[in-house]
Structure 1
Amino acid sequence: MYAKCGSIEDAGKVLKEMPSRDVVSWTAMICGQVQCREGQKALELFQQMQQEGMRPNSVTFVGALNACTSVLALEEGRCVPQQIIQHGLESDVFVESSLVDMYAKCGSLEDAWSVFNKMPARNVITWTTMILGHMQCGQGQKALGLFQEMKQEGVDPNSVTFKGVLNACATVLALEEGRCVHQELVQSGLELDVFVGSSLVDMYAKCGSMDNAWRVFNKMPFRNVVTWSTILGGRAIHGHGREYGHGNALETTCGSMNGFAWHLQNSW
């Protein structure tokens, strides 16, 4: 409770005062440290836990790997797989997905591929992690290829997957692939998700299709600051800083932005 509420100091006091600490107590503290952006302390706790003879479980390893990811501790992360094997958890899809995520976010795609290729089962989280990892490393075309492989294996994308793929399309200016993704979004019912919708607007804008960007923008039932910034930036880049069609779009958009800001301020 203390950890999840952000009071990591109180959580530490309770853990220290406990006469007996089990794997659940240690894991809660490790995950709490990660949540509070104290990844290095989480790794120290992971080591201390094992020094006291406590055996980690799958959730502990996920927490430790997330800690490595948060502080980009690639070398510490490379020591974890051996421990995972020793504890017989090398086939756990969540542990392995976290391992892939750690390697990808730390910039070691080769290690990420090594784990990914050995996995007996890969879920949407694993595939999405690989797609986002390639995006982070500037390999947008490879990310699009992974998206196609994922679907061929019968794994359905989620909103995070679609967001990553749309960003890949925007990066490599793959307008036709982006349009195909848009069709899939309509079929999946995720087109109106505010985060996916913002990525869709961004993709169309960066690929030079402002008509489609505007069409998606106008259909969105809710638009956040990212959506507004995307449409403003896209219109400015493509020479529509003043007008679009009939009337002054910049004034219209800024007027709507002011309304959005007023609503946000007063909702607090």
Structure 2
Amino acid sequence: MIKRAVKKEWHEKVRTCIQKRPTIHADQIFLVSLKVTKINQLVMSPKDAALWKAQERLMSLLKGCSSMKHLKEMHARIIQTGFDQNLLVMGKIIEFCAVSVHGDMNYAVSVFDRIDKPDAFILNTMIRGFGNSRLPEKAIDLYRRIQGKPNAAPDSFTFSFLLKIISGLGSVTLGKQLHCSILKLGLGTHTYVRNSLLHMYGMLKDIETAHHLFEEIPNADLVAWNSIIDCHVCCRNYKGALDLFTRMLKSGLQPDDVTFVVALSACGAIAALDFGRWIHSLIQDTKLGVSISVNNSLVDMYAKCGAVEEAYDIFNNIKGKNIIS
């Protein structure tokens, strides 16, 4: 009974500190109460209920961090407890450093370099962080550095993040190298990865490779169709984009607002007014005319096709106009 009362008292103190003043004081009370020293958290037994609860509370405290100063103080005490080898806890620290608005990518790198066997979540978080930084190419360097390391096997999300970064860098060579790695790991048929590849080749204006990839898909989903249509628009093959749009409809798939926006941009580019009017009728049938992005695309298409009155009519009926309107 005494032990339970003491535990309850500790929990109440931590909760009060978090609610009244979410600073390091709550962390101090909790970490002092842990009484854990240099335990290998990578092999925590399911029977170690106290350690699992400690991990859960650490994750909660880390989630409440509001600055790098706060996080660094927490990290210092986490090292003293032995939880610096716990991948969930370290993943939370890296996530704050790499992707939060208060983060510090340099500190994320220093933490990452001390982890012997980073898991896929930690790796992906680092790649996301580099992708949002001023040096996105460092994400590629990191991927190369961890290749072959145990426990750091990339997954479908890893490649999706990397492919997006390569799209921004505009490197066909890097794109093809990563594509080879994807095929070697057997992830080439993964829907998420495959659609990311389509998008990348479209952004790199490699329409031939993108089209070859698309034709190999047995039952292309809407994302794949949108990607290949957009690929043709990016490469200024507007007629090809509209042919694919028609083919998609014949396959039985229903377009979404992304499909309509891309197809309407193709119509506007080549002044295909009749085709644009047909798409407009489809939009009215599917009730997607309420989408601000679709309405803006209709206005743009009609204006570029010289149908100013129709463009003005749609503009006047748009609810919640934005700056694009």
Shared fold by TM > 0.5?
yes
Paired residues of 2:119 and 2:153 also in contact (CA < 8 A): no
Q: Which residue of 1 aligns with 2:145?
A: 48
Question: Is 2:319 the counterpart of 1:224?
Answer: no
Deviation at 1:120, TM superposition (A): 2.3
Q: Which residue of 1 aligns with 2:43?
A: none
Q: Which residue of 1 aligns with 2:248?
A: 150
Secondary structure in structure 1 of the residue aligned to 2:127: helix
Question: Is 2:5 the counterpart of 1:5?
Answer: no
Q: Which runs of 5+ in 1 are unaligned?
A: 228-268
Counterpart of 2:190 (choices 92, 111, 133) is: 92
Paired residues of 1:91 and 1:120 also in contact (CA < 8 A): no
C-alpha separation between the residues in 2 aligned to 1:224 and 1:23?
40
Paired residues of 2:117 and 2:149 also in contact (CA < 8 A): no
| Partner AA of 1:179 in structure 2 | R
C-alpha separation between the residues in 1 aligned to 2:174 and 2:104?
23
Counterpart of 2:126 (choices 4, 29, 34) is: 29
Deviation at 1:8, TM superposition (A): 5.1
C-alpha separation between the residues in 1 aligned to 2:208 and 2:269?
22
Q: Which digits, 9 at most, give the CA deviation of each residue in 1:213-265, with x for residues without a partner?
A: 111111111111111xxxxxxxxxxxxxxxxxxxxxxxxxxxxxxxxxxxxxx
Q: How does 1:142-221 map to 2 (within 5 A)?
A: 142-221=240-319
More displaced stretch, 48-57 vs 218-227? 48-57
Change in 2 beyond 3 A, CA 1:128/1:92: same
Counterpart of 2:181 (choices 75, 83, 92) is: 83
Counterpart of 2:212 (choices 114, 117, 134) is: 114
Q: How does 1:123-138 map to 2 (within 5 A)?
A: 123-138=221-236
Secondary structure in structure 2 of the residue aligned to 1:226: coil
Secondary structure in structure 1 of the residue aligned to 2:118: coil
Paired residues of 1:34 and 1:70 also in contact (CA < 8 A): no
- Identity of counterpart residues, as a percentage? 30
| Partner AA of 2:226 in structure 1 | T
Q: Which residue of 2 aligns with 1:18?
A: 115
C-alpha separation between the residues in 2 aligned to 1:215 and 1:180?
17
Paired residues of 2:172 and 2:204 also in contact (CA < 8 A): yes
C-alpha separation between the residues in 1 aligned to 2:134 and 2:317?
37
C-alpha separation between the residues in 1 aligned to 2:323 and 2:124?
36
Deviation at 1:71, TM superposition (A): 0.4
| Partner AA of 1:161 in structure 2 | T
C-alpha separation between the residues in 2 aligned to 1:29 and 1:156?
37
Q: Which digits, 9 at most, give the CA deviation of each residue in 1:44-64, with x for residues without a partner?
A: 111112153432111111111
Secondary structure in structure 2 of the residue aligned to 1:187: helix
C-alpha separation between the residues in 2 aligned to 1:59 and 1:151?
30
Q: How does 1:35-74 map to 2 (within 5 A)?
A: 35-36=132-133, 38-53=135-150, 54-74=152-172
The structure number with the bigger radius of gyration is 2
More displaced stretch, 49-58 vs 157-166? 49-58
Secondary structure in structure 1 of the residue aligned to 2:147: helix
Deviation at 1:37, TM superposition (A): 5.7
C-alpha separation between the residues in 2 aligned to 1:120 and 1:25?
33
Paired residues of 2:163 and 2:196 also in contact (CA < 8 A): yes
Change in 2 beyond 3 A, CA 1:37/1:162: farther
Deviation at 1:82, TM superposition (A): 2.2
Secondary structure in structure 2 of the residue aligned to 1:225: coil
C-alpha separation between the residues in 2 aligned to 1:95 and 1:17?
30
Q: Which runs of 5+ in 2 are unaligned?
A: 1-94
Secondary structure in structure 2 of the residue aligned to 1:77: helix
Taking structure 1 as the reference length, the TM-score comes to 0.79
| Partner AA of 1:12 in structure 2 | V
Change in 2 beyond 3 A, CA 1:13/1:222: farther
